[in-house]
Chains A and B, each alone.
Chain A
């Protein structure tokens, strides 16, 4: 029943997101690719653009989803009502977080499905005999693997934004935690730029998983380091609800 509460709060944004993806899919299917047979297209470049385009709306959705849940309830003075229902504080927190993350995953999957369809249509238009193969900068992977990894990359970034925002709302006991998390993310990007400017040899870890690019130090991440990179990012994503649980346990409502 508690999930129903989170669903009520998030369903409009969730529905609008899926509707937007549906419209995108329709647009993709109605469009005729302008690439002719045997065209020379950097497919990994297409995917990078696609990933770049999708992470903005996905992160925005994750940012808003992160503001739902018990942090906002406490800010709206509903905390004493929520936390005098049967269930310990962690029970409420993990349900909020798990359900929100599931919704983001669904949106990320559908968004990347749209991308996959577009990708496939481009390959067909090119008359590529290897329609299920995409060439990255350092090798070739199947289209489905390619799409799966792209989806994972986008989802992990959205999950990071969501978890950080959810944690922030609990930390400041208010939905305005969205601004704290935005500040932290922006701060990290600025820090990255400052570091790169003053110490060109130092590179801060990227917020976005980059499986199809050569990073300066890691080489072709899809071949060697993808598993490690995903594990580290997943661990960081999980860190925030655990931290939120500790904070929530200690605070007075």
Chain B
């Protein structure tokens, strides 16, 4: 059995339009989600997150490339994948049904469905189960989607922007349930988001996607431990293309390096070349994200900075 819950190789998805150039939503995505991890799939709006999830759920067809979910191909083995995986994508269920109806509807599809879990989450998440889905608030709609996914007894949960549009209290409630009740039992949680602080709080792996390509994929501990911002004054400084340097920004009198690994060795080398290292500072996920997607803070939408 593969130790990866999700794997994609050179995954491409192009959307053709009659009067516009074709859109490359995914442009060779290579992703590896370890089993048992909480994987934060990060990216700006339109980066390709939802497209990736739709492909994983077998809802859309890839233009080319390979993918596996729990060792199975979503194009040919949809049913076995859906038996073991809960997908929450559009957060739109059947508008005319209430929570109890939806539980009844869902129960028949999944052999490992648990009514006890559904009742538990309805109580814990305080969902008005007798209200029609279309009349529920955004927060309660999201909670209900999550309730259905959690109650189907999945070993992998794939959530697209689970906290989008939710207030901090509901967000906290949902994240607690996801981490405490689901992921802590050794199951895999894959969530896409552009709310970096939330991902940083719960995830142990992150993948950053931009324009359909995965630009960074590492465990969050490694990201925190190794990414450093190094500000230097000096001449004949090392070029930007060296492997350990993620990015170089040349300013007025100073050069700033975003170093991915081996910061100590790199700064020692700089000093040996006569450069003055002004400071070496750790980076949080938001800062790393901004550097990786290469936009600079001024150009990044507000929700990314949140």
Complex alpha-carbon distance, A81 and B145, angstroms: 9
Q: Is the CB of B92 within 8 A of A252?
A: no
Stretch at the interface among A55-63, A71-79, A223-231: A71-79
Stretch at the interface among B39-47, B82-90, B176-184, B271-279: B82-90
Q: Is the CB of A86 within 8 A of B90?
A: no
Using CB atoms, name the residue of chain A closest to B59.
Answer: A253
Complex alpha-carbon distance, A233 and B78, angstroms: 35
Given A85-B109, A86-B83, A87-B109; A8-B92 close (CB under 8 Å):
no
Stretch at the interface among B93-101, B192-200, B205-213: B93-101
Q: Is the CB of B78 within 8 A of A253?
A: no
Q: Is the CB of A84 within 8 A of B57?
A: yes
Pick the residue among B60, B79, B109 that contacts A1 (CB under 8 A): B109
Q: Is the CB of A80 within 8 A of B96?
A: no
* Interchain Cβ contacts under 8 Å between A and B, 11 examples: A2-B109, A5-B97, A78-B94, A80-B59, A80-B92, A81-B90, A85-B106, A85-B110, A86-B82, A250-B61, A253-B60
Given A252-B60, A252-B61; A80-B90 close (CB under 8 Å):
yes
A128 at the B interface (CB under 8 A): no
A88 at the B interface (CB under 8 A): yes
Closest approach, in angstroms, between the C-beta of B190 and any C-beta of chain A? Answer: 14
Using CB atoms, name the residue of chain A closest to B82.
Answer: A86
Chain A residues lying within 8 Å of B94, measured Cβ to Cβ, are 5, 73, 78, 81-82
Pick the residue among B78, B83, B95 that contacts A88 (CB under 8 A): B78
Given A1-B108, A252-B60, A252-B61; A84-B95 close (CB under 8 Å):
no
Pick the residue among B96, B101, B109 that contacts A86 (CB under 8 A): B109
Chain B residues lying within 8 Å of A88, measured Cβ to Cβ, are 78-79
Near A by CB (< 8 A), chain B positions 58-81 give 58-61, 78-79
Q: Is the CB of A80 within 8 A of B108?
A: no
Q: Is the CB of A81 within 8 A of B79?
A: no
Q: Is the CB of B87 within 8 A of A8?
A: no
Q: Is the CB of A5 within 8 A of B93?
A: no
Q: Is the CB of B93 within 8 A of A252?
A: no
Bitwise interface map of A from 68 to 110 toward B, beta carbon under 8 Å scored 1, else 0:
0000010011111111111110000000000000000000000
Given A1-B104, A4-B105, A253-B60; A87-B79 close (CB under 8 Å):
yes
Complex alpha-carbon distance, A56 and B13, angstroms: 46
Closest approach, in angstroms, between the C-beta of B109 and any C-beta of chain A? Answer: 4
A9 at the B interface (CB under 8 A): yes
Pick the residue among A1, A78, A250 that contacts B107 (CB under 8 A): A1
Given A1-B105, A78-B92; A84-B59 close (CB under 8 Å):
yes
Given A80-B54, A80-B57, A83-B59; A5-B89 close (CB under 8 Å):
no
Chain A residues lying within 8 Å of B87, measured Cβ to Cβ, are 80, 84
Given A1-B108, A4-B105, A253-B60; A86-B79 close (CB under 8 Å):
yes
Not counting A86-B110, A253-B59, a sample of 15 additional A-B residue pairs whose C-beta atoms are within 8 angstroms of each other reads A1-B108, A4-B104, A5-B97, A78-B92, A78-B93, A80-B90, A80-B92, A82-B94, A84-B57, A84-B59, A85-B110, A86-B83, A86-B109, A253-B54, A253-B60
Complex alpha-carbon distance, A253 and B56, angstroms: 12
Closest approach, in angstroms, between the C-beta of A66 and any C-beta of chain B? Answer: 18
Complex alpha-carbon distance, A252 and B23, angstroms: 15
Chain A residues lying within 8 Å of B54, measured Cβ to Cβ, are 80, 252-253
Pick the residue among A2, A81, A83 that contacts B108 (CB under 8 A): A2
Complex alpha-carbon distance, A76 and B108, angstroms: 22
Closest approach, in angstroms, between the C-beta of A33 and any C-beta of chain B? Answer: 45
